[in-house]
């Protein structure tokens, strides 16, 4: 009697766990036009000329460049929803209903984390109406409750940036600054405690709650691999979680039906830089950054690729001078005061003498970053994406990052510095019903 009863309990537990898992997977998808991390959504209401809602209207949301097509239908309240859309321009919405003229909107832009809301009015069949919505025409995000700002692709490509560190554009958001020590992103004057997401996956450096690699490296990901990102400073949804500062939600580029590519070479030399008016010399500095990207279709409308690579080679030797009698030796041993009496003038003469001694510590910083992505849409109900990023950064004698040091620490308190980051992402978006989407990410 005992063994069958035990087997029944175990079977019941497994059944409960299975049901709970299915409910958890479907619960988020049931939300109306929910915009998941790294994605966007289009929703709207269809009415007739009198203001009455129009149920049963056929709605098609598509993006020819990405091969996306969603066939929807308005419900009893005249509502339709297309959640979990990749951020992009060129979306089209068409509405058809018997007895009414067709309605069409083109060139709709969906930003990361945005719910685009359309108010659609259908006229009787005798009238023909075509509406073109361009990026200069604002669309309403009626579901937005937090404070956020999106840095779009044209800003990333056109605005000047030092060292091609793409997350520096976060500083364009009101209330966001850098702390005075390490250059960490600070929301409302509080450094740390931020969440960094890439295509919806958490890529935060867990110890400091900052971007992977922090501010020592050139950039965790190439500027050419980033399509856009959203900065949320307050009021963000629970889906982002565990951020007491802010959320930086990055979306990477994907391939499209058109082959596109970029290439660049950035060169910097101290001969091109003016000497700081308060400095006695112009520190040596040579930097070369080069890379490129390419994306396109493998199978039109179905399978796409995108690849990006970037290298950085920087030479910035450290000038280590002696201006403090209480200095460290080359082996790190502290030289203490001998206790001999001296007048202030004698001390000053000794300090002036020490200032004549300085040396150059060889220092480099080399970085390689590679990003790749595949998007596969076998049909209109399924979309899979696989992406990965690898970054290696190594700097001999790079613990000390200042241009000059006057305490001997450039020799006695220095060492090699290295940073390596790896992350990969696999996602599956499944259109269970016209307005019901399930997304699984790993």
3-state secondary structure of 410: helix
In Å, what is the CA distance from 166 to each residue of 35, 388, 401, 436? 24, 18, 20, 35
- Which residues fall within 8 angstroms of residue 244, CB to CB, at 6 or more apart? 190, 193
- Helix and strand numbers (H, E) in the chain are 4, 27
Question: How many CB atoms are closer than 10 A to CB 255?
Answer: 22
Report how far residue 182's alpha carbon sits from residue 211's, in angstroms, rounded to the nearest whole number.
13
Token pair recorded at residue 160:
């000047």
Which stretches of the chain drop beneath a pLDDT of 70? 1-37, 126-147, 180-182, 208, 213-214, 240-241, 279, 321-340, 350-359, 406-413
Q: Would you state the pLDDT for residue 127?
A: 54
Per DSSP, helices labelled H in 323-362 are 344-354
- The model's pLDDT over 179-230, given as tens digits with 9 standing for 90+, comes to 766 677 888 777 777 888 888 888 887 776 777 766 777 788 899 999 988 8
Contact (Cβ atoms closer than 8 angstroms) between residue 308 and residue 292? yes
DSSP codes joined into one string, 232-269: EEES--TTT-S-SS-EEEEEE----SS-EEEEEEEEEE
Contact (Cβ atoms closer than 8 angstroms) between residue 121 and residue 82? no
Domains of the chain: 28-144 (2.60.40.1120), 149-441 (no CATH)
Closest CA to 230 of 422, 373, 81, 35: 35
Strands, sheet with 185-187, edge to edge from the N-terminal-most edge strand: 176-178, 185-187, 190-191
- The model's pLDDT over 140-179, given as tens digits with 9 standing for 90+, comes to 455 555 567 888 888 888 888 877 888 888 888 887 888 7
3-state secondary structure of 182: coil
Token pair recorded at residue 281:
């010399």
- Torsion 204-207-213-214 (CA) sign: positive
1-15 burial by CB neighbour count: b if 16+ within 10 A, else e? eeeeeeeeeeeeeee
DSSP codes joined into one string, 11-79: HHHHHHHHHHHHHHHHHGGGSTT---TT-EEEEEEEEETTS-B-TT-EEEEEETTTTEEEEEE--TTSE
Q: Would you state the pLDDT for residue 416?
A: 84
Report how far residue 380's alpha carbon sits from residue 158's, in angstroms, rounded to the nearest whole number.
35
Contact (Cβ atoms closer than 8 angstroms) between residue 128 and residue 101? yes
Q: Would you state the pLDDT for residue 110?
A: 92
In Å, what is the CA distance from 339 to each residue of 246, 350, 363? 53, 15, 37
Provide the whole-model pTM.
0.75
- Which residues fall within 8 angstroms of residue 73, CB to CB, at 6 or more apart? 56, 57, 58, 59, 80, 434
């Amino acid at each position: 009697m005992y063994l069958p009863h035990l087997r029944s309990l175990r079977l019941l537990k497994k059944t409960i766990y299975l049901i709970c898992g299915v409910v958890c997977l479907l619960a988020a998808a049931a939300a109306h036009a929910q915009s998941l991390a790294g994605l966007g959504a289009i929703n709207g209401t269809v009415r007739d000329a009198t203001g009455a809602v129009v149920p049963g209207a056929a709605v098609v949301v598509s993006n020819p460049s990405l091969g996306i097509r969603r066939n929807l239908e308005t419900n009893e309240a005249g509502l339709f929803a297309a959640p979990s859309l990749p951020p992009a321009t060129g979306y089209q919405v068409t509405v058809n209903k018997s007895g009414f003229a067709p309605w069409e909107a083109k060139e709709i832009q969906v930003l990361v984390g945005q719910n685009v809301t359309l108010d659609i009015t259908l006229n009787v069949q005798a009238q023909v109406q075509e509406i073109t919505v361009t990026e200069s025409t604002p669309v309403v995000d009626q579901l937005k409750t937090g404070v956020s700002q999106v840095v779009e692709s044209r800003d990333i490509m056109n605005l000047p940036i030092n060292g091609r560190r793409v997350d520096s554009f976060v500083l364009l958001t009101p209330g966001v600054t850098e702390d005075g020590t390490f250059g960490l992103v600070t929301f409302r004057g509080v450094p740390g405690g931020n969440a960094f997401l890439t295509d919806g996956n958490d890529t935060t450096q867990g110890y400091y709650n900052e971007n992977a690699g922090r501010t020592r490296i050139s950039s965790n990901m190439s500027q050419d691999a980033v399509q856009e990102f959203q900065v949320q400073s307050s009021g963000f949804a629970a889906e982002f979680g565990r951020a007491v500062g802010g959320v930086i939600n990055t979306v990477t580029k994907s391939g499209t039906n058109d082959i596109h590519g970029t290439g660049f070479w950035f060169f910097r030399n101290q001969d091109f830089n003016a000497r700081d008016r308060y400095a006695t010399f112009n520190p040596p500095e040579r930097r070369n950054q080069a890379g490129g990207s390419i994306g396109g279709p493998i199978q039109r409308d179905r399978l796409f690729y995108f690849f990006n690579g970037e290298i950085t080679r920087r030479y910035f030797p450290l000038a280590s001078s002696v201006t403090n009698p209480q200095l460290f030796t080359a082996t790190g041993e502290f030289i203490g005061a001998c206790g001999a009496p001296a007048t202030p003038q004698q001390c000053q003469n000794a300090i002036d003498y020490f200032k004549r001694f300085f040396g150059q510590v060889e220092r480099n910083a080399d970085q390689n970053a590679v990003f790749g992505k595949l998007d596969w849409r076998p049909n209109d109900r399924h979309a899979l994406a696989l992406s990965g990023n690898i970054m290696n950064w190594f700097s001999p004698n790079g613990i000390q990052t200042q241009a000059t040091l006057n305490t001997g620490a450039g020799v006695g308190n220095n060492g090699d510095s290295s940073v390596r980051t790896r992350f990969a992402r696999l996602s599956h978006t499944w259109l269970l019903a016209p307005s019901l989407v399930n997304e699984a990410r790993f």
